[in-house]
Amino acid sequence: MDINSLGSITFDLNFLTALASIVIIDLILAGDNAVVIAMAVRSLPAEQRKKGIFYGAGAAVLLRVMATFFVAQLLQMSFIKLAGGILITWIAVKLFVEGVPENNIKKEASTIAQAVKVIVIADITMAIDNMLAVGGASHGNLFLLLFGLGLSIPMVVFTSNLLSTMMDKYPVIIYIGAAVLGKVGGEMIITDPFVVNMFQPGKVIKYSTEAVFAIGVIFAGKYYMKWKVSREEREEHVHENNSEQ
């Protein structure tokens, strides 16, 4: 990074073009992160959701700033995106199970700390593309880099608030959100350097993998809920029999 460019604000054509590129990148890529946050705070009491969204988004972006400077090197390592894709897929199933309205599983009340933990883990895992895109568009200018990462906070907070409210009125959005996260997980797995070198997947395989993961997280969530309810019913039945004896 050129030390003379740190914090440089020139307002020439190159600077303004980079600035516009970063705004567009944030607009395009903020959606996935907003889905995670909205689903993570879904089970919080209504009065705590805004705090959960703000704390989660703020903590995630701070970690992004620190991670941006070495994420390009990390991406060249095999298994990083593979592990991240598996983690995102698990989070997608977890959030779907916790948020879907027909869930009859007994659950403990969620806390802001639990929601922030999920948001930070998922956001950092998914933010690789965003960090690389903003880092590339900034052309080594620290001001543009921090501006781009900072701009994502209000965008994600606004979108997350909107989505969490809509999820209450239109539960189908929870299914869509889980599918989006599943697609992201599938994309990370199929584009991991190890997977690419081993299988050389083409576009058809890539898109098919994303589709399978998008649908798969919903089926996995449904299956888990069915298994969990059946298990709880059996445990209650055994408890009742023991009480009668």
Q: What are phi and psi of 78, to 5 degrees?
A: -70, 150
End-to-end CA, the chain: 75
The predicted structure's pLDDT at residue 36: 83
- Total number of domains in the chain: 1
* pLDDT tens, position by position, 104-113: 655 555 688 8
* pLDDT tens, position by position, 20-43: 777 776 766 667 778 888 888 887
CB contact set of 39 (below 8 Å; sequence gap of 6+):
95, 96, 98, 99, 167, 174, 177, 178, 181
Which parts of the chain sit beneath pLDDT 70? 1-10, 25, 27-30, 65, 67-76, 102-110, 127-140, 243-245
The predicted structure's pLDDT at residue 3: 41
Contact 164, 41 (CB under 8 A): yes
The predicted structure's pLDDT at residue 1: 41
Range of the domain at 42: 3-244
The predicted structure's pLDDT at residue 129: 61
* pLDDT tens, position by position, 162-196: 888 888 888 888 898 889 889 888 988 998 889 99
CB-based burial label for 189 (10 Å; 0-12, 13-18, 19+): buried
Four-CA torsion 147, 11, 7, 127, nearest 10 degrees:
30
